[in-house]
Amino acid sequence: MSSIPRTHEQCRPGDGSPTPSISVVILTLNEEINIAECLESCAWSDDVHVLDSGSTDRTQEIAKEHGASVHTNPFESFGKQRNWAIDNIPLKHDWVFHLDADERFTPALIRELDALIKAGPDEAGFFVPHKLMLMDRWLRRSGGYPTYQMRLFHKARMRFIDHGHGQREEVGKKIGTLKQPYLHFLFSKGLFDWIEKHNRYSSLEALQAVHDAGQPLKFSQLFKGPPVERRREWKQLVNRLPARPLLRWFVSMFVQGGILEGKAGRTYASLLAHYERMTVLKLRMLKESKRLHADNFEADTAPPSASSAFDPGDQTLMRKPITKRKRTAPPTAPKGEEGQLLPEASPWTFKEKVIRAIWMLVGQPIFSLTFHNWYGIRNQILRLFGAKIGKDVHIRPSVKVEIPWNLDIHDGVTVGDKAILYSLGTITIGERCIISQYAHLCAGTHDHTDRSFPLIRDPVEIGADAWIGADAYVGPNVTVGRLSVLGARSSAYKDLEPEQVYVGNPARAIKARELVDLA
């Protein structure tokens, strides 16, 4: 029997409770821990069906014991499974409510359903809100209540289409909205099941994001229209932004108020960030993989299955070598024109501006306020904003980072107080490097020979085991060789050879670097 707490009374035929003429369909797969109490919440209905995907536990047996009709069909997707139920299950009533095994009807919802059906609605279906339950608590804030799903529909008026990890209703239908929610118990089968399930969901979300990437964003629907449509447009917008894991955590905790919901709110916010991180990593793999192209998705209304998209041996996220920018001859200013023209218009896209603003307003302040020895937390903040950070990296809280997602910092690196990582372009720091206090790695400049003064985002690469001294400067398009040393207050404008010690402005080699083995 389920260990889920009973948070509602049961409505049963014959006791004066309403019994709306609605068929109930419950989708299951190995739900023996949930199915009994789920069916008890359906006791008001005289037509309850369990559509099982091939359970290997006692799900079907328990369902039959509780009087439900049991049907089986291999699971392909939520949309296809719901359509299969419409086409193949002998549903007694025209109106159907789809429920999951970890969800429960409430008396208030049943009464609203009864009044609705008696009124004879002409809609094709109705969106229904749900209360997200975690650790015996309703997550009203961090759960984003109310959020809606199409659960009640007329079997002759509605079909479903796969979308992301779930499904959506056919467009062009008349849709209503109910006020009373059902209950959704998030961890009814434990954390392991949640992670396993959302690992699959994140694959489908990544594929859907690739499919949606070529679709125009409807800004007009971000703030008006049905709640479900607004939510989908916001999701498309967020899918195009970097730093999604941290953004999702921050919104859940501080914008929606999850911090006020105690341990349950903090736990849920962390899980949402974990889910976003899985989705972002898989989306990155899809974009970088040579096996997949956007053309594959344009002809389909739904993305391909996740199983065909990922190869456990895929090496698409391996570190790539830095390609230096090739200089071209500067344009010649027209005769008779003097002075420097106004700089070019901003080279940053709207998306880049938004994420840089989030980093400056949220990410960098949180990063700076951490305690001096919280290296792991700072590394995780940078990772959430897209930086590649290796193991045992020690970055001090006073370090200034311009654009985190342009950082590639390898294992064992130390970055001292007040150092500046001006990562307009890519900054790569090799294994075990030391970047001393006040050092400045500058991966950005302007072309002073061009009258439009365009921004140049050339990379900076620091080789393994190199040491950049205090208050030293490394300019754009410079590679510091492995094991080399750039002395304090020195400046490098050209590549530094490996295993050499450099000082001065501009830096010049004064001797070879020799490491003494004290063993």
pLDDT(332) > 70: no
pLDDT, residue 512, reads: 94
- How many percent of the chain have pLDDT more than 90? 53
**Between 216 and 476, whose confidence is greater?**
476
pLDDT(334) > 60: no
Non-local (6+) Cβ contacts of 298 within 8 A are 214
Which range (49-58, 109-118, 334-343) has the least confidence? 334-343
Measured between alpha carbons, how far is 2 from 368 in angstroms, rounded to an integer? 46
Highest mean pLDDT out of 6-20, 249-263, 289-303, 404-418: 404-418
In tens, the pLDDT along 365-396 reads: 999 999 999 999 999 999 988 899 999 999 99
**Between 452 and 116, whose confidence is greater?**
116
**Which H helix or E strand runs over 407?**
strand 407-409
Name the pTM for this structure: 0.53
Measured between alpha carbons, how far is 309 from 210 in angstroms, rounded to an integer? 12
In tens, the pLDDT along 143-185 reads: 889 988 889 999 999 998 876 555 667 667 899 999 999 999 9
pLDDT(85) > 70: yes
pLDDT(297) > 60: no
pLDDT, residue 144, reads: 87
CA distances from 472 to 417, 485, 507 (A): 13, 10, 10
Confidence of residue 53 (pLDDT cuts 50, 70, 90): very high
Q: Three-class SS of residue 378?
A: helix
Peptide bond into 321 cis (omega under 30): no
Across the range 20-40, mean pLDDT stands at 95
- Tell me, which fold does domain 387-512 have in CATH? UDP N-Acetylglucosamine Acyltransferase; domain 1 (2.160.10)
* Displacement of CA 478 from its chain's centroid (Å): 34
In tens, the pLDDT along 456-495 reads: 899 999 999 999 999 999 999 999 999 999 999 999 999 9
Q: Where are the alpha helices (DSSP H) in 174-307?
A: 191-213, 227-239, 244-250, 262-288, 295-298
**Between 265 and 307, whose confidence is greater?**
265
pLDDT(300) > 70: no
pLDDT, residue 403, reads: 93
Q: Per-domain residue ranges for the chain?
A: 22-188, 192-308, 387-512
pLDDT, residue 307, reads: 38
Is beta strand 137-138 parallel, antiparallel or unpaired with respect to 125-134?
antiparallel
Residue 167 burial (CB count, 10 A): 21
pLDDT(211) > 60: yes
pLDDT(346) > 90: no
Confidence of residue 311 (pLDDT cuts 50, 70, 90): very low
pLDDT(5) > 50: no
pLDDT, residue 491, reads: 95
Q: How many CA atoms lie within 13 A of 282 on its CB side?
A: 27
Measured between alpha carbons, how far is 492 from 501 in angstroms, rounded to an integer? 12
Across the range 201-209, mean pLDDT stands at 76
Across the range 409-428, mean pLDDT stands at 95
In tens, the pLDDT along 219-276 reads: 555 556 665 566 566 566 666 666 778 888 888 898 889 999 999 999 999 888 888 8
**Between 18 and 88, whose confidence is greater?**
88
**Between 273 and 39, whose confidence is greater?**
39
- Tell me, which fold does domain 22-188 have in CATH? Spore Coat Polysaccharide Biosynthesis Protein SpsA; Chain A (3.90.550)
Secondary structure string (H, E, C) spanning 137-178: EECCCCCCCCCEEEEEEECCCCCEEEECCEEEECCCCCEEEC
Highest mean pLDDT out of 69-83, 218-232, 409-423, 435-449: 409-423
Which range (46-55, 187-196, 237-246, 353-362) has the least confidence? 237-246
